[in-house]
């Protein structure tokens, strides 16, 4: 049995509904501060193996449905997952190695993904290089999601992704997407 926790369950609590409303509607729902702390405890004592994003880039039009039951669950989180996780780990005094284990190593191990999840000779170099002490605020102007919004708009992070490599190729350089090169098919061990 394996388990994952999503960025939004580690970041938000039910107190955020007053400001964010349906933008933070997920299944399962974001719950109380006590629930969030219990998820953190399970993550830290290794009952939870993976930190995931549950990336669901619904449009603002979809999130604005009149009937609550028709509003889709989920939100875009891939672009901000790493900087949010780094922020949370730093605030809790946790080592970055633990974050790498939960977001890179364990997914590759659990899903038996070939040649990924580690920086090793012969593995695909999927790497994000992050600048620390580089404050910036999430805004419509710097969101790269095609849906054009984030539940983290207005949040200031001290970490910023400077470079991203996909399969060893530089594809993102300090705010500029350099290549439309597609990733390679992920292969799994039998």
**Residues annotated as catalytic (active site), given as ranges:** 54
End-to-end C-alpha distance for the chain, whole angstroms: 18
> Strand 4-6 and strand 50-52: pairing?
parallel
CA–CA separation, 6 vs 94, rounded Å? 17
Q: Given the structure tokens 């983290």, which residue do they identify? A: 152
**Spatial CB neighbours of 170, under 8 Å, sequence gap ≥ 6:** 163, 164, 178, 179
Alpha-carbon span 46 to 68, nearest angstrom: 35
Question: How far is residue 24's CA from residue 77's CA, in Å, rounded to a whole number?
Answer: 11
Q: Tokens at residue 177, please?
A: 């997407």
Q: Is 7 exposed, middle or buried (0-12, 13-18, 19+ CB in 10 A)?
A: buried
């Amino acid at each position: 049995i394996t388990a994952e926790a999503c960025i939004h369950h580690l970041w938000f609590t039910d107190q955020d509904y007053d400001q964010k409303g349906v933008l933070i509607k997920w299944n399962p729902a974001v719950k109380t501060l006590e629930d969030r702390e219990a998820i953190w405890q399970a993550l830290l004592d290794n009952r939870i193996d993976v930190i995931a994003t549950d990336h669901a880039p619904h449009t603002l039009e979809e999130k604005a449905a009149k009937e609550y039951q028709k509003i889709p669950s989920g939100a875009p989180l891939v672009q901000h997952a790493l900087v949010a996780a780094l922020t949370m780990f730093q605030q809790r005094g946790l080592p970055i190695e633990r974050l790498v284990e939960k977001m890179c190593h364990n997914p590759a191990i659990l899903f038996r993904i070939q040649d990924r999840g580690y920086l090793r000779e012969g593995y695909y170099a999927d790497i994000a290089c992050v600048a620390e002490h580089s404050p910036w605020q999430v805004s419509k102007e710097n969101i790269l999601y095609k849906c054009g919004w984030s539940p983290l708009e207005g949040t200031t992070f001290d970490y910023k992704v400077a470079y991203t490599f996909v399969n060893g190729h530089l594809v993102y350089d300090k705010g500029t997407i350099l290549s439309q090169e597609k990733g390679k098919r992920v292969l799994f061990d039998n």
